[in-house]
Every structure is written in structure tokens, then in C-alpha cells.
Amino acid sequence: MNHRSRLPRVLLIGLGAAVVAAATSAASPAAAATSAAAATSAATATSAGAATSAAADASPAESSAQHIQVLVRDANAYWTQEMRALRSSSYDTPDLTLFSGAVSGACMSGQPLIGPFYCPNDERIYLDQDFLGQVAQRAGAAADLALAYIVGHEFGEHVQALVGTTALVEQARASSTAALSARTWATAELQSDCYAGLWVRWGLMQGMIKAGDTSAALAAVAAVSQALQAHAPKGAAMVDPIQGYGTAAQRLKWLQRGLNSGNFNDCDTFGAEAAGTL
């Protein structure tokens, strides 16, 4: 079966406003993912079991780091097979940096950075273990889903960078008004939420992620993000605050879209923005 895709393209709307239409015409990527999942399920389950056994003998901090690394590994497994099915781009696994509190020298920034974020310049995901711990505590029974969402969102940004969406969004924002630039950025972030939903759906089906209340998971992430931004260390910047991802209802809508659909094509937030249905 042929899988044909078009890379994201810039659409001009209104007074020279540019947004990215993520239009991929791959044939049944969800079915391809299911097929590939069957081939990798046993190996993944074995490695996940080994990680669980090791985590049982580790300190709380070590267990947290191991759990995040398992989520990262599983996200890479999903996107490797998904990108292969779409044939839109080769998939390069992102690097990972775990830190606590703040990280300096990241993403060519001259100031300390806080919170989870992705840096397209070096294709690296940065995850704050303190932040993740607070989210897990606040989310309660939805803790695993909340952590998977955070990891999945940053992987969504990595996928956007690989297929060219990130560069087009930056180009569009550079030539837009401040208000339109913010809207374009929010639209891209909501697409990352939808991409997060795609892999979380796969993780739930494989038994790698524990099910939980989606609204509670997002609410926990938002609460911790807002508190961190309000009490950020002097001179530190939060690169990727969830408050910029549109409204709470929009975040839930697009995460749920990915969870329900499992289809890469259904994450076209830019088309929805153009149609007024974001």
C-alpha cells in the first residue's frame, strides 16, 4: 500500500497572515501503527518489565527518572513506526536532558530555563523532574496520564520540527502582528497536544500507560505550570507554559482528538484555525 504525504505548507490568510496547514494524506496510519505495534509488543513488554523491576530497588528520585525514560523510550518507538508508515520524513530520536529546578545554557539561551520544553536547535527534550513530581502528586490517580501527556507534547514539538512545521511557524510569526503571532503559536502548540494524544492512545492500547481522567491530568499540568511561572526564580524564563496552548477547553479537545482518532491527519489544527473551528 502506498503512503503518500505532503509536508506542511504556509497559507496566507487575511492581511498577509500565515498559518501552517498540516495536511498529510497518508493512507490509514492508524492501521499501520497497529500492525507495527503487534511486531514490537512482546519486546516492549519485556523491556518495560525489566525497567519496573529495577525501579522497585531504586530511590524515589531514581524511580522517577527511570519512569520518565521508559515513557521517552516508548514515545520514540511509536513515532519511529508512525513516521515510517507516513513516509513523510525520516525519524531521528531526540536527545533527552533531565534536570531539577532550572537548566542553564540550554537552547542558546542566556538565562536559566524552567519547566519542560523542547529545543529544535539541538533536537533535545528538557524535562524538569521537580515539575514532573509536582504534577504527579497533584494529578493523583491520573498521574501516569499527566506525565505521558507532558512527554507526548514535547515529542509532538519534535515531530513538528522534523517535518518542517516549526520552521514555517517561525517564518509566519516573524511577519505577523503580535496578536496573530501568538495565535499561530497557540495553534502549533495545540497540534502538539493532538500528537501527544496519538502516542498516548498507542501507549494505553499497549498497556504501557495507565488510564486516567484526561481533564484531571490536564488540570494538574496547568496548575503546576501556572504556579511555577508565578514563582519562577529571578532571571529564569519558562519556555513552554501550558497557558499559551489556547484555552483549557481547546487543550482538552485536541488531546482528546488524538486519543480518540489515532490518525495523524486528524491533528490539522491549522486547518481548523483557518475554518474558525479551533
- Written as one letter, the residue type at 255 is L
Q: Evaluate whether 226 touches 245 at the Cβ level (below 8 Å).
A: no
Q: Evaluate whether 43 touches 74 at the Cβ level (below 8 Å).
A: no
In this model, does residue 83 exceed pLDDT 60? yes
Work out the mean pLDDT of the chain and round it to a whole number: 81
Give the model's confidence band at 89: pLDDT under 50 very low, under 70 low, under 90 confident, else very high.
Answer: low
Compute the radius of gyration of the chain from its Cα atoms.
Answer: 18
Mean pLDDT, range 222-234, rounded to an integer? 91
Q: Evaluate whether 11 touches 274 at the Cβ level (below 8 Å).
A: yes
Highest mean pLDDT among 76-90, 98-112, 264-278: 264-278
- Written as one letter, the residue type at 169 is V
What pLDDT, on the 0 to 100 scale, is given for residue 241?
Answer: 79
Spatial distance between the Cα atoms of 108 and 101, rounded to a whole number of angstroms: 18
Q: Evaluate whether 87 touches 5 at the Cβ level (below 8 Å).
A: yes
What pLDDT, on the 0 to 100 scale, is given for residue 3?
Answer: 30
Mean pLDDT, range 71-95, rounded to an integer? 90
What is the DSSP pairing of strand 237-238 with strand 113-114?
parallel
Asked if residue 1 is part of any domain, the answer here is: no
In this model, does residue 124 exceed pLDDT 80? yes
The 3-state DSSP class for residue 53 equals helix
DSSP 123: T
What pLDDT, on the 0 to 100 scale, is given for residue 60?
Answer: 52
User: pLDDT, tens digit, for every residue of 158-180?
Assistant: 999 999 999 999 999 999 999 99
* Assigned C-alpha cell, 61: 528520585
Residue of 7 and 233 predicted with greater confidence: 233
Give CA separation, 250 vs 193, 247, 268, in Å: 10, 5, 13
In this model, does residue 202 exceed pLDDT 70? yes
Highest mean pLDDT among 49-53, 54-58, 173-177, 254-258: 254-258
Asked if residue 3 is part of any domain, the answer here is: no
Percent of the chain whose predicted confidence (pLDDT) is above 70: 77
In this model, does residue 204 exceed pLDDT 60? yes
Range of 220's domain?
A: 9-275
Residue of 54 and 143 predicted with greater confidence: 143
Asked if residue 2 is part of any domain, the answer here is: no
Mean pLDDT, range 46-61, rounded to an integer? 45
Asked if residue 226 is part of any domain, the answer here is: yes
Total count of domains within the chain: 1
Give the model's confidence band at 44: pLDDT under 50 very low, under 70 low, under 90 confident, else very high.
Answer: very low
Mean pLDDT, range 203-218, rounded to an integer? 96
Highest mean pLDDT among 3-17, 60-74, 116-130: 116-130
In this model, does residue 86 exceed pLDDT 90? no
The 3-state DSSP class for residue 32 equals helix
Spatial distance between the Cα atoms of 33 and 147, rounded to a whole number of angstroms: 22
Q: Of the ranges 20-34, 98-112, 213-227, which one carries the lowest mean pLDDT score?
A: 20-34
pTM of the model: 0.81
Mean pLDDT, range 27-33, rounded to an integer? 37
Residue of 178 and 57 predicted with greater confidence: 178
What pLDDT, on the 0 to 100 scale, is given for residue 135?
Answer: 95
Asked if residue 255 is part of any domain, the answer here is: yes
**∠ Cα 13 161 253 (to 5°):** 65
Spatial distance between the Cα atoms of 267 and 173, rounded to a whole number of angstroms: 20
What pLDDT, on the 0 to 100 scale, is given for residue 183?
Answer: 92
Least Cα distance to 115 among 138, 142, 94, 97 occurs for 97
Asked if residue 134 is part of any domain, the answer here is: yes
